């Protein structure tokens, strides 16, 4: 049985991008939200 792991990160600054990279490397599905986009 497969479990989907999804994370939303609000803020695509330096910290948000690093968090996204780490989570992607660990198998999470990541969505980034940026205020101006």
Q: What is the pLDDT of residues 9-35, one digit of tens each?
A: 999 999 999 999 999 999 999 999 998
Helix-strand-coil split of the chain, %, nearest 5: 30, 25, 40
Tokens 């690093």 map to which residue? 18
Residue 3: pLDDT band (50, 70, 90) is confident
Number of domains in the chain: 1
Contacts of 30 (CB under 8 A, 6+ apart): 6, 7, 8, 9, 20, 23, 24
Residue 1: pLDDT band (50, 70, 90) is low
Looking at residue 3, what DSSP letter applies?
A: -
pTM exceeds 0.85, yes or no: no
Full residue range of the structural domain in which residue 21 is found: 1-37
Task: State yes or no: pLDDT of 36 exceeds 70.
Answer: yes
């Amino acid at each position: 049985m497969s479990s989907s792991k999804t994370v939303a990160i609000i803020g695509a600054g330096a910290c948000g991008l690093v968090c996204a990279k780490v989570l992607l490397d660990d198998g999470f599905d990541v969505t980034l939200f940026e205020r101006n986009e």
